[in-house]
Amino acid sequence: MKKVDIDWSNLGFSYLKTDFRFISNWKDGKWDDGNLVEDNMLKVSEASTALHYGQQCFEGLKAYRTKDGEIQLFRPDQNALRLNRSCRRLLMPEVPVETFIDACMQVVKANEAYVPPYGTGATLYLRPFVIGVGDNIGVKAAPEYIFCVFCLPVGPYFKGGMTPVNFMVSDYDRAAPYGTGGAKVGGNYASSLYPHEVAAKKGYADCIYLDPATHTKIEEVGSANFFGITKDDKFITPVSPSILPSITKYSLLHVAKEYLGLETEERDVLIDNLDEFKEAGACGTAAVITPIGGIDYNDKLHVFYSETEVGPVTKKLYETLCGIQVGDIDAPEGWIYKVK
Ligand SMILES: Cc1ncc(COP(=O)(O)O)c(C=O)c1O
């Protein structure tokens, strides 16, 4: 295996060009077989719908190195299914689940040198995406599409990893009540850049978005889902069509119940009722579990467990989830895909 000179333990979440990416093209109603390429530049028509009308969607998943040096993917089938839900929402062709998983496997194998060693806390992040391309100018679905998967080694998304960080409630919305909040499409993220900048300038890690219809319920924590642990040890996470259904969140619902014996509930979380939680966190593939120290709402900081220490339930959830992902703890049936 090729050797790469990377300081694994100090990786952040930034782009690094790896050697190969998978590309497949959709034309005349079908995908071609696709193949691995070295060039990380895409050449597309200036009239591509992805560039003008945001006709694109993406995914994020990770490959993990186990103690015995093997590599495994965590629930890639769920990412494939979500990508296809996003594709349907934006009138783009779906990518067969087997094609999606096979493309991820090919990319990981071809870039094996970049899969961080076990125990470093770093992982290989995979970014699959579909974009509308080809010559078009009216607002309509593209005549052609590209499906691509690239990868890069990453460390923690929020600086500090398992150290709590603070968030502020944003006055802005990332998605509309019947819009595309539940799909992983670029427009949601474009509209979050400015509110993020406002939050960052005030010293917060990111924004908390409330439900766009009433601004009374928590929806997202930046680009992660919210969970809270009530004083009587229930794992609570909000539910709404404008929240992106996080694969990590659904995995944690299972882990909380089946591994930690906690009661779980998906229900509204009122921003005026933060007192019900003794711990809170943000969860997602990139964020893993980031403990929420406090939430600034109406210029008052509500602190959960602590601004500096992770709470015991959040810690246990983190250890169990990460243990499953790296193969130290037995996973539920069908969660782990070995890269061979
Ligand atoms: C807006 C948003 N919410 C939540 C998540 C977490 O989802 P997942 O756990 O599937 O990575 C992500 C990241 O994909 C996201 O972008």
Tokens of 306: 């602590």
* Continuous segment of H or E residues that includes residue 313: helix 312-325
pLDDT of 50 > 90? The answer is: yes
User: Band of the pLDDT at 1, cuts 50, 70, 90?
Assistant: confident
Query: CA distances (Å), 311 to each of 92, 136, 230, 271, 291, in order?
Result: 43, 52, 12, 20, 8
Residue 5 has pLDDT above 80, yes or no: yes
What is the H or E stretch that residue 338 is in?
Answer: strand 336-339
Ligand 1 atom nearest to CA at 174: 1
What is the pLDDT at residue 228? 98
Q: Whose CA is nearest to atom 1 of ligand 1?
A: 223
Q: Provide the 3-class DSSP secondary structure of residue 58.
A: strand
Average pLDDT over residues 196-218: 97
Query: How confident is residue 261, by pLDDT bands cut at 50, 70 and 90?
Result: very high
Query: Mind listing the domains of the chain with CATH numbers?
Result: 19-152 (3.30.470.10), 163-323 (3.20.10.10)
Q: How far is the CA of 89 from the centre of ligand 1 (A)?
A: 17
The per-residue pLDDT for range 67-110, each reduced to its tens digit, is: 999 999 999 999 999 999 999 999 999 999 999 999 999 999 99
Contact status, residue 207 vs residue 172, Cβ threshold 8 Å: yes
Which two three-digit tokens encode residue 89? 């929402």
pLDDT digits (tens, 9 = 90+) for 285-327: 999 999 999 999 999 999 999 999 999 999 999 999 999 999 9
Residue nearest atom 16 of ligand 1, based on CA coordinates: 223
Residues with CB under 6 A from ligand 1: 60, 220, 223-225, 244, 246-249, 284-285
Q: What is the pLDDT of residues 21-44, one digit of tens each?
A: 999 999 999 999 999 999 999 999
Amino acid at 210: L
CA distance readout (Å), 191 to 174, 188, 289, 294: 6, 5, 24, 24
- Distance from the alpha carbon of residue 125 to the mean position of ligand 1, in angstroms: 13
Mean pLDDT (the chain) is 96
pLDDT recorded at residue 157: 75
Rg (CA), the chain: 20
Residue with tokens 């530049």: 41
pLDDT in tens, 229-260: 999 999 999 999 999 999 999 999 999 999 99
What the block records as the tokens of 69 is: 């040096």
Give the CA diameter of the chain.
58
Ligand 1 pocket mutation, candidates 225, 237, 249, 325, criterion most atoms within 8 A of CB: 225
Q: Are 99 and 34 in contact, with CB atoms under 8 Å apart?
A: yes
* pLDDT value of position 187: 97
Smallest Cα–Cα separation from 129: which of 153, 154, 100? 100
> What pLDDT shows up at residue 160?
65
Q: Could you list the active site residues?
A: 184
Q: Which helix (H) or strand (E) holds 293?
A: strand 288-297
What would the pLDDT profile of 115-162 be if each residue is shown by its tens digit? Answer: 999 999 999 999 999 999 999 999 999 999 999 999 999 997 776 678
Distance CA 147, CA 97 (A): 13
Ligand 1 center from residue 60 Cα (angstroms): 8
Q: What is residue 265's three-state secondary structure?
A: strand
Percent of the chain past pLDDT 70, that is, above it, reads: 99
